[in-house]
A and B are shown apart, each in its own frame.
Chain A
């Protein structure tokens, strides 16, 4: 009798469960690294020395860490764009495409020799990037929100369009293209549009600061603004949101466009900070990696900071590992993938376990009883 009352009352996960839910990504990452170690061992290298080389490559010197931050910049910005989508229950996997669109926008303005101060030129380039990316994102966002097209399909397909559109834009005789180059690419951006280098001897640009700010700002938006509250409502229960008076379609549109905006900024940072030219394939999967980053972070903008750093450290360190120990370069990609899979796996098994508890508890409640 007592027993039943307690069950009807409330069931909270125990301390172990709570700790586990916070530690879940870490456990997943750990398992991923262990599995990766197995693969490294299979290729005939001591995994420990490989990981030590990797750590050194990522954190061994200020220059190395600067490299990590450079790689983290687009992942931070793109990742948080995906993350807000996840919170709204939307898979905005079009970051790759938005990056290209943003790069074209930033490139067009950045290449032009404008008689303005560098800061103004940079801001104008960013604004152009945002405008291009948002216009680019409007198509799939509209299709999802107002026409019910699956956003994964719509955004992924647009990525391919973006890649080839970029290719066309940097081929002669398009005005952006570098005349007479071996490889189709745009002209170099003007010196006034370049992001400043923060550390001599490295390519460290302020992109990671933009990324950090974006993560923190979007965290606050999600948690502390009506817009963010609506977004989370939408992610938890779209039908309920509609009933509670949320304009669900408009909210979806906005959330997808924020992702597009972030993707545009991410592309602009790459162009203005690092690549200095626009060319086909310059993104090279960073947009998709942003999705993995957001996934690893469970859609939490602050988590994106950690997971973006983790990914870029793995990448930067992986190069050193490859040189010092002879482990193949693709190994880092394999380890990345393993970590994501394990994080998802740990989350899945944890959810199943909780569900089983819930089912056992609620099983008896299926039979209803009414008395009037």
Chain B
């Protein structure tokens, strides 16, 4: 092993090394001869665009997939990881983006699940509890061991996953998008714990798409694009534009989107003292007062789960409010349900709300208007008109599909979203609600969604743009409001918005409103 020898002479200990990992799925080359290493006591950032192959690579490391070729070395020894059990045995811990916890078990039970007991017939939790609590203390990640997991917040569930891995004495911890579900303060606590882990000589692979935190927490960054490694850079030498270029393959502009100044001032959406509950019946919106005018984009910033979803659903009439009034162009919102052409809605969960996966593209494009001419004449659906309509929108919105007769389920995420956008925008509604409209999309699709929204604004639509990605809120909004625990913490001009002020508001710290 010549490569290893070189490292040894440099006196750097390698915790894990992957060499020439190739993984092919039917018709897809997910990993193309990927080689990377993670040193002892370091945080390795794994950065890559959506679909670049990061998750597949980590699933191979954790024994969930077998590579078609390539080798894995743990602490210098070549290993075959044929199952997660083997990975755990080798000291690898993984926190998936979607947690693998048993909801109805307590936190402690989840931690010991799968570990053989010393006395096979008895379940003695006392020693386990002691060890668990000492881990909580050591890493300052406290989770109540007696609480059923479903009652824990998402952030605590993630800590529990980390504690679970540490309980098994993981020496290499893989964190897949760990901060996506955390509030900023929880994120900071996580970072503290990560630093402590590496001080003890453990290694962490940190998968993320957020440049800021990757630059903050990692020691080295490996960038993956289209299934192969673009390069590895020490974090100290990395710069934001450089990383973005490596990741995307071309320079990326992060500037504010240029736009003509708004001319219209008529309020389109007026919300007064709106209150609503979440799915569990707890108050999710508390006295929301909000006006969105024609020709402006109002961005809604905030950590996920602070009432944004409920806000959007109240406006489009999918959720009953418990108080207050919502008017759209002066009409009560309850009319919206009767006439869906009033509001264009790009839902956060496009597959659940926005699309009919096993209907065709053409059918999906008319689900709001199918009963109107020209799609229905004399009570009969006119498929020719429906197809023509579809072909026009496919062209206009650059939806990539072989034909209008393909089921939407076969399209990629970005093109599925374009189907939703095309349908919702083509009716030229006075009000557009975009809720996490770019979630899970790759760069090209994100940009086109942004451009379509800007076009709607310039046409004179009132646009409410809800996103947890601060950067896109800041680049797209004319006005920004910040939500925290169902309340609007403050409002500011998009041009002059200060990211620090918004960040504080997202944490619930009331700041003087900058109008």
Q: Which residues of A contact B (CB under 8 A)?
A: 1, 3-4, 6-12, 223-226, 228-230, 232-233, 236-237, 239-245, 357, 360-372
Q: How far is the CA of A339 from the CA of B54 in the complex (A)?
A: 44
Q: Nearest-CB distance from A359 to chain B (Å)?
A: 9
Kindly list chain A residues whose C-beta atoms are within 8 Å of the C-beta of B345: 243
Q: Which residues of chain B are near A362, meaning CB under 8 Å?
A: 413
6 closest Cβ pairs, A-B complex: A372-B472, A360-B25, A369-B209, A372-B471, A245-B340, A226-B371
- Spot the interface stretch: B69-77, B83-91, B157-165, B348-356: B348-356
Residue among B28, B207, B446 making CB contact with A367, cutoff 8 Å: B207
Hey, which chain B residues are within 8 Å of A7, CB to CB?
27-28, 51, 412
Residues of chain B within 8 A (CB-CB) of A6 are 27
Q: Among the listed A233, A367, A371, which residue makes an inter-chain contact with B359, where contact means beta carbons less than 8 Å apart?
A: A233
> Is A236 within 8 A of B357, CB to CB?
yes
Contacts known (A7-B28, A242-B318, A371-B244); A366 close to B55, Cβ less than 8 A: yes
| Interface residue B486 (Cβ < 8 Å from any Cβ of A) | no
- Say whether, besides A370-B472, A371-B254, A10 and B28 are in contact (CB < 8 Å): no
> For the complex, is B358 an interface residue (Cβ under 8 Å from A)?
yes
Closest-by-CB residue of A relative to B413 is A365
Residues of B within 8 A of A364 (CB): 30, 50-56
Which chain B residues numbered 373 to 417 have a C-beta less than 8 Å away from chain A? 376, 379-381, 400-402, 406, 410-415
Contact yes or no, B353 A240, CB < 8 A: yes
Contact A12:B410 (CB < 8 A) given known A1-B226, A7-B28:
yes
Bound: A3/B227 CA distance, A: 10
Nearest-CB residue, chain B, relative to A6: B27
| Contacting pair A243 B52 (CB below 8 A) | no
20 contacts between A and B (CB under 8 A): A8-B415, A8-B442, A10-B400, A10-B411, A10-B412, A12-B402, A226-B371, A229-B371, A236-B358, A237-B353, A239-B318, A360-B30, A363-B30, A364-B30, A364-B50, A365-B51, A367-B176, A369-B247, A371-B252, A372-B475
Instruction: Known A10-B415, A239-B353; judge A370-B469 contact (CB<8 A).
Output: yes
Which stretch from B126-134, B433-441, B507-515 is at the chain A interface? B433-441
Find the A residue at minimum CB distance from B211: A371
Q: Which residues of B contact A367 (CB under 8 A)?
A: 48, 50, 54-55, 97, 176-177, 207, 209
Complex contact A368–B27 (CB within 8 A): no
From A368, which residue of chain B is reached at the shortest CB distance?
B440
A357→B52 CA distance, assembly (Å): 18
B residues 300-359 with Cβ under 8 Å of A?
Answer: 316, 318, 337-340, 345, 347, 352-359
User: Which residues of B456-490 have CB atoms within 8 Å of chain A's CB atoms?
Assistant: 469, 471-476
Q: Which residues of B contact A232 (CB under 8 A)?
A: 359
A109 vs B420: C-alpha distance in the bound complex, in angstroms? 53
Hey, which chain A residues are within 8 Å of B176, CB to CB? 367
Which residues of chain B are within 8 angstroms of A372 by Cβ–Cβ distance? 254, 446, 450, 469, 471-476
B370 interface residue per 8 A CB criterion: yes
CB pair A368 B352 closer than 8 Å: no
Give B residues with C-beta under 8 Å from A.
25-30, 48-56, 59, 97-98, 176-177, 180, 207, 209, 226-227, 244, 247-248, 252, 254, 316, 318, 337-340, 345, 347, 352-359, 363, 367-368, 370-371, 376, 379-381, 400-402, 406, 410-415, 438-443, 446, 450, 469, 471-476
- Closest residue of chain B to A360 (Cβ to Cβ) is B25
Q: How far is the CA of A23 from the CA of B469 in the complex (A)?
A: 47
Cβ–Cβ contact B209 & A243, under 8 A: no
Shortest distance between the CB of B473 and any CB in chain A (Å): 7
Closest B-chain residue to A359, C-beta based? B25
Contact A225 B474 (CB under 8 A): no
Tell me, in angstroms, the Cα distance from A280 to B190 when the chains sit together: 70
Q: Which of A3, A240, A357, A368 touches B356 (beta carbons < 8 Å)?
A: A240
Q: Which of A12, A225, A369 contacts B406 (CB 8 A)?
A: A12
User: Shortest CB–CB separation between residue A206 and chain B, in angstroms?
Assistant: 28
Residues in chain A near residue B30, CB distance under 8 A: 360, 363-364
Q: Which residues of B contact A243 (CB under 8 A)?
A: 316, 318, 340, 345, 347, 353-354
Q: Is the interface of A mostly helix, strand, loop or mixed?
A: helix
Task: Give the residues in chain A near B381, CB-CB below 8 Å.
Answer: 223-226, 228-229
With A and B bound together, what is the CA distance between A357 and B358 in angstroms? Answer: 16
Contact of A9 among B25, B207, B412, B475 (CB under 8 A): B412
A sample of 20 more A-B contacts (CB under 8 A), given A1-B226, A366-B55, is A3-B227, A7-B27, A7-B412, A8-B414, A9-B400, A10-B402, A229-B381, A240-B356, A240-B367, A242-B318, A243-B340, A243-B345, A243-B347, A360-B30, A361-B25, A368-B209, A369-B48, A369-B442, A370-B472, A371-B443
Report the separation of the CA atoms of residues A7 and B414 in the bound assembly, to the nearest whole angstrom: 12
Closest Cβ of chain A: how far from B401's Cβ, in Å? 6
User: A237 touching B400 by the CB < 8 A rule?
Assistant: no
A226 and B411 alpha carbons, distance in the complex (Å): 25
> CA separation between A367 and B439, bound complex, in Å?
10
> Within the assembled complex, what's the spacing in Å between the Cα atoms of A127 and B177?
63
Most buried by B among A4, A225, A233, A241: A4
Asked if A370 and B56 make an inter-chain contact with CB atoms under 8 angstroms apart, the answer reads no
Chain B hits for A9, CB < 8 A: 400, 412, 415
Q: Which residues of B contact A241 (CB under 8 A)?
A: 367
Do A244 and B55 form a contact, CB below 8 Å, given A224-B380, A367-B207? no
Taking A3-B29, A363-B30, A372-B472 as contacts, is the C-beta distance between A10 and B410 under 8 angstroms? yes
CA distance in complex: A367, B47 (Å): 10
Q: Which residues of the partner chain A approach B450 to less than 8 Å between Cβ atoms? A: 372
With contact pairs A3-B29, A370-B438 given, residues A226 and B376 touching in the complex (Cβ less than 8 Å) = yes
| B338 contact set on A, CB distance < 8 A | 245
Shortest beta-carbon distance, A347 to chain B, in Å? 13
Chain B residues with Cβ under 8 A from A365's Cβ?
Answer: 50-51, 412-413, 440, 442
Could you tell me if B352 and A226 are in contact, using CB atoms closer than 8 angstroms? Answer: no
- Given contacts A8-B442, A10-B411, A367-B209, whether A245 and B54 have CB atoms under 8 Å apart is no
Chain A residue nearest to B337 (CB atoms) is A245
Chain B residues with CB below 8 A from A357, complex form:
25-26
Chain B residue numbers with a CB within 8 Å of A229 are 363, 370-371, 381
Contact B339 A8 (CB under 8 A): no
B471 touches A237 (CB 8 A): no
CB distance from A61 to the nearest CB of B (A): 42
User: How many angstroms between the C-alpha atoms of A80 and B504 in the bound complex?
Assistant: 61
Residues in A with CB closer than 8 Å to B401 are: 10
Residues of A close to B356: CB separation below 8 A: 233, 236-237, 240
CA distance A228 to B376 in the complex (A): 12
Once the chains are docked, how many angstroms separate the CA of A361 from the CA of B25?
Answer: 7
Contacts of A366 in B (CB 8 A): 55, 97-98, 440
Q: How far is the CA of A241 from the CA of B356 in the complex (A)?
A: 9
Q: Which residues of B contact A11 (CB under 8 A)?
A: 27, 410
Residue among A223, A226, A363, A369 making CB contact with B49, cutoff 8 Å: A369
Residues in A whose Cβ lies below 8 Å from that of B368: 244-245
Question: How far, in whole Å, are A242 and B319 apart by their CA atoms in the complex?
Answer: 11
CA distance A226 to B354 in the complex (A): 19
Query: Across the interface, do A237 and B357 meet the contact criterion of CB distance under 8 Å?
Result: yes
Quick one: given A12-B410, A364-B53, A372-B475, are A237 and B352 in contact (CB under 8 Å)? Answer: yes
CA distance A371 to B444 in the complex (A): 10
Most buried by A among B28, B55, B381: B28
CB distance from B65 to the nearest CB of A (A): 9
* Smallest CB separation, B482 vs chain A (Å): 16
- When chains A and B are docked, how far (Å) is the Cα of A209 from the Cα of B381? 26
Chain A residues within 8 Å of B357, by CB: 236-237
Does B340 contact A244, Cβ atoms closer than 8 Å? Answer: yes
Name the A residues within 8 Å of B318 (CB-CB): 239, 242-243
Tell me whether B441 and A368 are in contact (CB under 8 A): yes
Q: In the complex, what residue of chain B is closest to A361 when comparing beta carbons?
A: B28
| Shortest beta-carbon distance from A320 to chain B in Å | 41
- Bound CA–CA A357/B25 (angstroms): 8
